[in-house]
Homo-oligomer: A and B are copies of this chain.
């Protein structure tokens, strides 16, 4: 045996039990009591063994053309951050350039990852212009292992103009057993309010940022998304949901018998809209959609616990402080931030330790569900014999104060600076290789592999 994890407490989506884990050839060979010797043995007494985190919503290396700025991370720095936080797989969005096809975009993205990624990664092609040519390409990219697509209901996707063609794309994805990810915010509402803020002289202040992208805009877009999915008879996955209006759309669709899924994001679990009123660089919190009220935070936790939502993912996108401060109006602030490294520790501290999530549910939303939905399971997403040995040895008592200085993203500021967590990965193991030990990255760039994914499978 190559590696033996001894005396840990294995946690899966359904079980919590003590046993040793024996790893050989990158996969889990045995789980048992008193397993024999191995080339290396790690004592996991008092530790949890979680399946490695799977973050299916990242933008780890985005060039300037999309949002006017290039991200400060690339596949190396961001996956280093991921690994240090216990995430062993990401699925990144591959954006076509203007007029580019899906396969060309995927090739460009594979080039970005190759030689850089320290963990395994999949890719979702983004559809920004659902022409007949693009729709014709979909079957091929699914056949090649890219079994999900992304669309935006906002200006980024020129959605209002192209909606009936997007509907065709959603239908084609459904026919191909691929899962369509949808960013849900209604551009018309946002434009209207932005103009109102402008008229009132308020569009220049980040304090009014959350007003400019209200919950109603998200809820309305989510309702459109699930209704379109219903017409297309296709499954959909709504990304980064932040409020009850959007959850209602999921509920309604399920009540009609549709197959729909929902993702939330650390931001909506740990922060509230009061953040925009602060004085110390409040632009750091700008994101699509924006932070909401405290009562929405509780609603999102409750939805995560009760399976209204199925996953948590980061939308990781790293900008420098200068970039974040570049925009001067509510419709110019760059959205999002780096948060791959804090995803699991924050979810554990704020979720499991507070009793909001069981240990099993923590594993389910951060690893098993994303793996099942996006065709990675059972290769990824669990600790079971035959699966990839992607395992986090998690120390539930380790106290860490989050500091930008300790982070591996190249972002020069930190979202949760000063936040005190209890619980942090002691080791991160990817395909049997210890890639992080005690917050030190041991992996070499490029060891991470592109993962071809199976078709969408229900949870």
Interface residues of A (CB under 8 A from B): 10, 12-19, 22, 29-35, 160-161, 163-168, 186-193, 195, 214, 216-217, 219-220, 223-224, 227-228, 230-231, 254, 306-307, 358, 364, 368, 378, 382, 384-387, 458
Contacts and interface: CB of A to CB of B under 8 A. Distances in A.
B214 A195 contact: no
A22 B29 CA distance: 13
Given A12-B14, A14-B13, A386 B33 contact: yes
Contacts of A368: 14
Contact of A12 (B15, B307, B358): B15
A246 to B, nearest CB: 12
Given A14-B12, A17-B387, A30-B30, A191 B164 contact: yes
Question: Copy number of this protein in the oligomer?
Answer: 4
21 contacts: A10-B384, A12-B15, A13-B14, A14-B15, A15-B378, A16-B378, A17-B385, A17-B387, A18-B385, A19-B384, A30-B31, A30-B35, A31-B32, A33-B386, A161-B161, A163-B188, A164-B187, A165-B192, A166-B188, A220-B227, A223-B227
A159 to B, nearest CB: 9
Contacts of A364: 14
A219 B253 CA distance: 13
Contacts of A230: 216
Given A30-B31, A192-B231, A220-B224, 4 more contacts: A30-B30, A160-B161, A188-B228, A223-B227
Contact of A15 (B189, B216, B382): B382
Q: Which of A12, A192, A224, A387 has the most CB of B within 10 A?
A: A192
A147 to B, nearest CB: 19
B189 A382 contact: no
A123 to B, nearest CB: 26
Nearest to A193: B231
A293 to B, nearest CB: 16
Contacts of A378: 15-17
A385 B14 contact: no
